[in-house]
């Protein structure tokens, strides 16, 4: 991928990049954030392996840590929901996450003004990696987030490594 | 204790040792950007170190467009630690359409190590969701203390207002000063006469050390600039060549307040113990006005009636601090008492003590002041040393509404009233006052203060009393007094004549004189009444009603509760 693509990703109000595995999507995230984005980016992925891979790459490129925050969609949502269960309408345990409720709860939280302000204070944009692994409820969280901040999603529909989830995976047509 | 703060100007009043300053210090400690605080066992309640110190302050209504505040409320900081606030205190989460707040807690346990954290809800459980907050983040709250440490604020030392005002500039003051200090250390001073004397001592020490087995290469006197003394704190504001710290304390207070108003666009918190210190009344009024108009939140204490008069009780700007026998401290807004504003302005002094004698009017206040001096002359402490103030109720009818309010605010309240207007203050009213905790001192049935005086004074002193009334009074002639008395229909038939010394003692004549004095307001001014009673008290028999009643009131005042 070229610098024009990175710049386009950085400047997009929202959009998606679809490309097969091995075409440099991780590289694109790192280059985009490191060079073309202004302000801190929230980078969401799905697995801790994914987080480690991204962190590793950011280190290799010497990108200052102030430019990004990497988390899983699950971890990031849970961080908010477990601290505001009442506001989120989440009535299950705050010790152990009940995942099929967490994302809906996060969607509710994203309607709250004080939550929105906190996110706006923290980030200038959102980048979601491995979007093909998103479930429908995760997708709703991202759709709500898109109303607040530029959301750029990257993925390919061949890479779905978690086939065994209760929820339907999101189809590209929904993005 | 807990204190629900209602407005932007909060001034605490109350008697000495009621913990007013401690409350300000607690706020200061909880919110100030100091790196460390030193505590010792005596800081704990009753020195019981197993009961940890816990100060929690909940803040709301910040300006989240300010960059520093936005930074504070990032996800990596405290975005997820915003909490709710209800009348009962902080809540773990904001309520729907409710206040969004943030709550800081300072805990000190027996390790004496202060721990600052942001907590969600009331800080009660150890396993509560909390996040440490460090000095740099507390600095965002913009709290400054404008009293004790005000000299430091005129320097660019750590955490001063000037330093915080300069925070956005990339200044390397410390580096500049350190370089200067280094230059000073390296400069050659050895040719100075006094330094040469030091050198000979140094030489002898070198010799002595060598004989003791320590071999030193060269020993000479040089300036040792400790790093801590030559930091940015060494740079301070000067007026011409005079450091601002040499200004008068009042001016320093005003300059400090002015600097603080520039911090964070003025949206910050100031703590000012004894706001009136070093200021003349007009400067007190000026400062109070400026502070009220600024966007800051102010926490102050005062002992000045001038400050009290400037503030609004109804807008909850004045709080009474009281400490009960068990040491429990509480604060009550003067505004919690309806219709009190006029009283606060009119009787500002009374609110600065712990006991109040609510007097029916000016005559009674004058009477008490005279009694105070009279007892003082007999080696008793005067009323003021017992933190008791007089309070002018302004008529018998107002006593029954005013006194319960004073009691509600925590003042021990006594009432001194006459007994000639049961339509305004009935026996039932008096009973209610007593049941409500007031001590009531009242004359005999039907007697005004004046009538009681004329009833109690031995007859041979009465002519002199009439003379004194006339002498004290600006315009009243003795002849007029005598005329008024002798022409009263009840005694006119006696042909009394113009020489009071020739009059004979009678109940009816005493009544006529007393009523006349009362209705014609012969002594209805504090100074009139005070002078007259100073004359009368030594002459009144100890068994007279006036003296008996006042002695009882005196005992109440002396009683320590």
As for the ipTM of the complex, it is 0.87
What span, in angstroms and rounded, lies between the C-alpha atoms of A74 and A48? Answer: 10
What is the domain range of residue A19?
Answer: 3-174
- Mark yes or no for CB contact B79/A118 under 8 Å: yes
pTM higher than 0.80 for the full model?
A: no
Interface of B with A (CB under 8 A): 64, 70-71, 73-76, 79-82, 92-94, 100, 120, 129
Cα B11 from chain centroid (whole Å): 8
Q: Do B120 and A79 touch (CB under 8 A)?
A: no
Q: Cα–Cα distance between B380 and B388 in angstroms, integer?
A: 14
B17-67 pLDDT, tens per residue? 778 889 999 999 999 888 778 888 888 888 888 889 999 999 998 889 988
Could you give the percent of chain B with pLDDT greater than 90? Answer: 36
Nearest CA in chain A to B76: A122
Q: How many residues does chain B have?
A: 561
Q: Which helix (H) or strand (E) holds B90?
A: strand B89-91
**Nearest chain A alpha carbon to B92:** A84
Residues 55-84 in A contacting B (C-alpha not used; CB under 8 Å): 69, 79-80, 83-84
Joined together, the tokens standing for residue B368 give: 């008490």
DSSP states of B288-349 as a string?
Answer: HHHHHHSS-EEEEE---HHHHHHS-TTTT-EEEEEE-TT--EEEEEGGGSTT-HHHHHHTGG
How many domains is chain A partitioned into structurally?
A: 1
**A79: chain B residues, CB-CB within 8 Å:** 75, 80
Beta-carbon separation of A114 and B100 below 8 A: yes
Q: Report whether A78 contacts A102 (CB < 8 A).
A: yes
For residue B100, how many other CB atoms are within 10 A of its CB?
Answer: 20
Rounded-to-integer distance, Cα B300 and Cα B10, Å: 6
With an 8 Å Cβ cutoff, are B80 and A114 in contact? no
pLDDT tens by residue, B229-262 = 667 777 777 878 887 778 777 778 788 887 777 7
Residue B293 — φ and ψ, nearest 5°? -80, -20
DSSP A169: B
Nearest residue in A to B68, CA atom: A121
When CB atoms are compared, the residue of B75, B82, B129 closest to A114 is B82
User: CA–CA separation, B179 vs B175, rounded Å?
Assistant: 6
Facing B93 at nearest CB: one of A84, A117, A121: A84
Q: Between residues B431 and A4, which one has the greater pLDDT? A: B431
3-state secondary structure of B54: strand
Give the whole-angstrom CA distance, residue B42 versus residue B316.
Answer: 33
* Per-residue pLDDT at A165: 43
Q: Measured between CA atoms, how close is A72 to chain B, in angstroms?
A: 15
Query: How far is the alpha carbon of B80 from chain A, nearest alpha carbon, in Å?
Result: 7
Q: Is residue A158 pLDDT above 50, yes or no?
A: no
CATH code of the domain containing A22: 3.40.50.300
Sheet holding B9-13, edge to edge: B143-145, B269-272, B297-301, B9-13, B318-323, B329-333
* Cα angle A23-A24-A30, degrees, rounded to a multiple of 5: 165
DSSP-derived 3-state class of residue A141:
helix
What is the distance in angstroms between the Cα of A166 and the nearest Cα belonging to chain B? 30
Would you state the structure tokens that stand for residue B176, as one six-digit string? Answer: 């500049």
Instruction: Give CA–CA dist B445/B422, Å, rounded.
Output: 9
β-partners of residue B100 are B84
A116 in contact with B at a CB cutoff of 8 Å?
Answer: no
Tell me the domains of chain B and their CATH numbers: 1-33+142-155+248-352 (3.40.50.300), 36-138 (no CATH), 353-558 (no CATH)
Residue B214: Cβ within 10 Å count: 9
Question: How confident is the prediction for chain A on average, in pLDDT?
Answer: 84
| Residue the block writes with tokens 């801190």 | A40
Residues of chain B with pLDDT under 50: none
A91 lies within 8 A of chain B by CB: no
pLDDT tens profile B371-384:
988 888 666 666 66
Token pair recorded at residue B327? 């040491």
Q: Cα–Cα distance between B15 and B354 in angstroms, integer?
A: 5
**Chain B CA closest to residue A81:** B80
Size of interface A-B (CB pairs under 8 A): 45
Q: Using the beta-carbon criterion (under 8 Å), do B80 and A121 form an inter-chain contact?
A: no
The chain A residue lying nearest B101, using CA atoms, is A114
Give the pLDDT of residue B126. 76
The segment with the largest mean pLDDT, out of A16-30, A72-86, B163-177, B194-208, is A72-86
| pLDDT score of B225 | 64
Range A15-30 burial, b when 16+ CB lie within 10 A, else e: eebeeeeeeebbebbb
Smallest CA–CA distance, residue A123 to chain B, in Å, is: 8
Q: Which of A85, A86, A119 minimises the CB distance to B75?
A: A119
Least confident range of A12-16, A157-161, B135-139:
A157-161
Q: Which two tokens stand for residue B536?
A: 């009368």
Torsion on CA atoms B351, B356, B357, B358, rounded to nearest 10: 50
């Amino acid at each position: 991928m070229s610098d024009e693509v990175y710049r386009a990703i950085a400047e997009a109000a929202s959009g998606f990049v679809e490309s097969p595995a091995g075409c440099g999507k991780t590289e694109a995230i790192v280059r985009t954030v490191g060079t073309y984005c202004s302000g801190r980016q929230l980078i969401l992925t799905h697995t801790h392996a994914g987080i480690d891979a991204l962190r590793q790459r950011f280190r290799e490129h010497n990108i200052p840590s102030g430019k990004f925050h990497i988390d899983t969609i699950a971890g990031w949502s849970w961080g908010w929901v477990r601290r505001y269960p009442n506001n989120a309408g989440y009535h299950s345990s705050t010790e152990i996450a009940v995942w099929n409720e967490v994302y809906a709860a996060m969607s509710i939280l994203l309607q709250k003004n004080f939550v929105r302000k906190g996110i706006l204070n923290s980030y200038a944009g959102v980048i979601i990696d491995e979007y093909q692994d998103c479930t429908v409820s995760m997708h709703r969280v991202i759709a709500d987030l898109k109303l607040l901040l530029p959301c750029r999603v990257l993925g390919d529909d061949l890479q779905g490594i978690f086939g065994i989830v209760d929820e339907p995976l999101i189809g590209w047509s929904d993005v | 204790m807990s204190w629900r703060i209602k407005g932007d100007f909060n001034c605490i009043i109350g008697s000495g040792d009621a913990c007013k300053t401690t409350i300000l210090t607690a706020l200061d400690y909880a919110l100030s950007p100091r790196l460390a605080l030193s505590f010792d066992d005596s800081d704990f309640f009753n020195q019981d170190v197993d009961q940890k110190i816990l100060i929690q302050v909940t803040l709301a209504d910040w300006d989240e467009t300010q960059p520093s505040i936005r930074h504070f409320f990032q996800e990596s900081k405290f975005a997820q630690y915003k909490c709710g606030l209800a009348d009962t205190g902080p809540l773990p989460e904001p309520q729907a359409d409710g206040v969004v707040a943030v709550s800081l807690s300072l805990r000190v346990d027996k390790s004496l190590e202060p721990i600052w954290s942001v907590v969600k809800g009331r800080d009660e459980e150890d396993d509560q969701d909390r996040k440490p907050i460090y000095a740099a983040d507390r600095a965002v709250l913009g709290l400054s203390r404008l009293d004790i440490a005000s000299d430091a604020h005129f320097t660019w030392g750590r955490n001063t207002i000037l330093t915080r005002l300069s925070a956005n500039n990339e200044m390397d003051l410390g580096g500049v000063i350190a370089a200067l200090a280094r230059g000073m250390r390296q400069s050659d001073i050895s040719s100075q006469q006094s330094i040469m004397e030091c050198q000979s001592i140094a030489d002898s020490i070198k010799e002595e050390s060598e004989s003791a087995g320590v071999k030193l290469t060269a020993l000479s006197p040089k300036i040792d600039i400790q790093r801590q003394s030559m930091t940015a704190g060494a740079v301070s504001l000067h007026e011409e060549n005079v450091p601002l710290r040499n200004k008068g304390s009042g001016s320093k207070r005003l300059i400090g307040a002015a600097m603080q108003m520039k911090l964070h666009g003025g949206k910050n918190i100031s703590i000012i113990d004894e706001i009136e210190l070093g200021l003349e009344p007009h400067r007190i009024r000026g400062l109070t006005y400026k502070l009220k108009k600024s966007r800051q939140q102010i926490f102050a204490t005062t002992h000045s009636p001038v400050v009290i008069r400037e503030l609004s009780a109804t807008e909850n700007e004045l709080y009474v601090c009281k400490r009960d026998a068990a040491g429990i401290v509480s604060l009550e807004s003067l505004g919690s008492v309806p219709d009190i504003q006029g009283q606060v302005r009119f009787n500002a002094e009374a609110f600065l003590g712990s006991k109040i004698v609510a007097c029916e009017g000016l005559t009674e206040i004058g009477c008490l002041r005279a009694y105070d001096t009279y007892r003082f002359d007999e080696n008793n402490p005067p009323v003021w040393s017992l933190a008791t103030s007089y309070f002018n109720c302004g008529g018998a009818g107002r006593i029954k509404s005013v006194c319960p309010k004073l009691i509600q605010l925590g003042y021990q309240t006594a009432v001194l009233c006459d007994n000639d207007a049961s339509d305004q203050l009935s026996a039932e009213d008096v009973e209610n006052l007593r049941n409500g905790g007031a001590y009531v001192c009242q004359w005999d049935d039907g007697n005004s203060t004046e009538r009681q005086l004329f009833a109690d004074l031995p007859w041979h002193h009465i002519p002199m009393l009439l003379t004194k009334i006339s002498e004290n009074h600006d315009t009243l002639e003795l002849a007029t007094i005598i005329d008024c008395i002798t022409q009263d229909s009840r005694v006119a038939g006696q042909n009394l004549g113009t020489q009071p010394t020739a009059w004979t003692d009678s109940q009816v004549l005493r009544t006529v004189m007393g009523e006349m004095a009362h209705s014609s307001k012969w002594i209805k001014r504090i100074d009139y009444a005070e002078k007259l009673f100073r004359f009368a008290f030594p002459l009144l028999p100890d068994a007279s009603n006036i003296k008996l009643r006042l002695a009882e009131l005196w005992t109440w005042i002396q009683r320590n509760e």
